[in-house]
Amino acid sequence: MPMTPFAPPTRVLMGPGPSDVHERVRLALARDTIGHLDPEFITLMDQIMGGLREVFCTDYQLTMPISAPGSAGQEAAIVNLLEPGDTFIACVNGVFGGRMAVMAERAGAKVVKVEQQWGRAIDVEALRDALKQNPTTKLVGFVHAETSTGVLSDAQAIAAVAQEFGALTLADTVTSLGGVPVKIQEWGIDAAYSGTQKCLSCPPGLSPVTFGPRAREAMDARKIPVQSWFLDLSLLTGYWSGAKRAYHHTAPVNALYGLHESLVMLLEEGLEAAWKRHSDTHLKLVEGLESLGLHMAVPAGERTPQLNAVMVPDGVDEAGVRAQLLQRHNLEIGAGLGPMAGKIWRIGLMGQSCTQRHVDLCIGALGEALNA
């Protein structure tokens, strides 16, 4: 059968990402492609770096998008900051903290895990104990907003403890960036990575990263080259901010148009306004879910507003409800992962998907499905 053009359905995206993409961003993707060494493209790169610094609340010079999805940004941070034999503490309270540990093992690091029950925030005192027992720890990694469970951990407290012991801090801000305060520099976080398809409401495919001076010193002091050529920040820096803009790889030009436009939109709204919108809309969603008799999976106070984990009631067909929402309402919500599979739904309120209209649609559709 010959290939014919693909016509995607128009979904409402309330899963764990991607979130709804505004027409402005979609149309930006369709702008004329220019070369990755074009002088105009360099202007675009500079503006994206500036916009990302605003969004990460930092003036770290080394702030840019990695040309691949969030997990590549995660790997970039880990393989550049760690060398074989280094000690890495991974705070693990869900899928993405666990992934940090796996990546660090593959980078040859000695990995110590500070494990926390899924659905709860990282225990800062447990981290302190691990640091006491591993005083030469080079790097502490944690997930700010755990996409697999909807938990927000205290990034500032984690960074403070790490700093007390002279360790660097790496924050996964894939789901948090743009949805809750992420104050990289004020909180003393040395490195962070994110994704475009959550609260930035861009299609997936890019991973904004930021590295502060202590992280850069650690990278400059490396004894062996980074195992990945593609993700080697010493080479990427030459392209993104070197005086010569030395060719490294071919940057994903049109995807970067989309990220640029999404940053324009977020900064037009203002970061604080966006954080408030996420927080307010989350409270409305929780109210609606509870009015249906549903229970949140995460204790109040540890919830991240942009990703809401809700318990599947006993006897309800978890996948059946999701399928019905998709078929009848074109509404996507997420399933649980790992030990949470079958037990929770994950309802995203990220970026453009974070409006009262989304809450109303979701509560209406879920109510219909549960009462069927």
204-223 positions binding a second copy, by CB under 8 A: 204-205
With CB under 8 A as the contact rule, the residue among 134, 156, 163, 227 that binds a second copy is 227
Residue 72 as a binder of a second copy (CB under 8 A): the answer is: yes
User: What is the footprint of a second copy within residues 315-344 (CB under 8 A)?
Assistant: 326, 332, 337
Residue 97 as a binder of a second copy (CB under 8 A): the answer is: no
Residue 336 vs residues 70, 76, 119, 282, 370: alpha-carbon distances, Å: 19, 27, 11, 19, 18
Residue 269 CA to residue 305 CA, distance in Å, equals: 18
**Beta-bridge partners for 296:** 310
Nearer to a second copy, 161 or 369 (CB): 369
Contact range with a second copy by CB under 8 A, out of 42-50, 117-125, 130-138, 299-307? 42-50
Number of residues that bind a second copy (CB under 8 A): 82
Contact range with a second copy by CB under 8 A, out of 131-139, 242-250, 296-304, 312-320? 242-250
With CB under 8 A as the contact rule, the residue among 57, 157, 160, 264 that binds a second copy is 264
At closest approach, how far in Å is the CB of 339 from a second copy? 15
- E-assigned strand segments in the chain: 12-14, 62-66, 87-92, 110-115, 139-143, 145-146, 151-152, 168-172, 191-193, 207-211, 307-311, 331-335, 344-348
Contact range with a second copy by CB under 8 A, out of 68-76, 213-221, 236-244, 295-303? 68-76
Nearer to a second copy, 157 or 253 (CB): 253
Residue whose token pair is 């492609």: 33
User: What is the footprint of a second copy within residues 77-96 (CB under 8 A)?
Assistant: 79
Contact range with a second copy by CB under 8 A, out of 63-71, 122-130, 154-162, 312-320? 63-71
Residue 360 as a binder of a second copy (CB under 8 A): the answer is: no
Could you tell me the strand order of the sheet in which 307-311 lies? 12-14, 331-335, 344-348, 307-311
Residue 172 CA to residue 144 CA, distance in Å, equals: 6
Buried b (16+ CB within 10 A) or exposed e, 295-323: ebbbeeebbbbbbbbbbbeeeeebeebbe
Residue 248 CA to residue 229 CA, distance in Å, equals: 10
Residue 349 as a binder of a second copy (CB under 8 A): the answer is: no
At closest approach, how far in Å is the CB of 288 from a second copy? 22
CA-based max dimension of the chain: 63
R_g of the chain, CA atoms, integer Å: 21
At closest approach, how far in Å is the CB of 306 from a second copy? 15
Residue 167 CA to residue 87 CA, distance in Å, equals: 10
In the shown chain, the binding pattern of residues 173 to 202 toward a second copy, with x for contact by CB under 8 A and - for none, equals ----------------------x-x-----
With CB under 8 A as the contact rule, the residue among 160, 253, 292, 370 that binds a second copy is 253
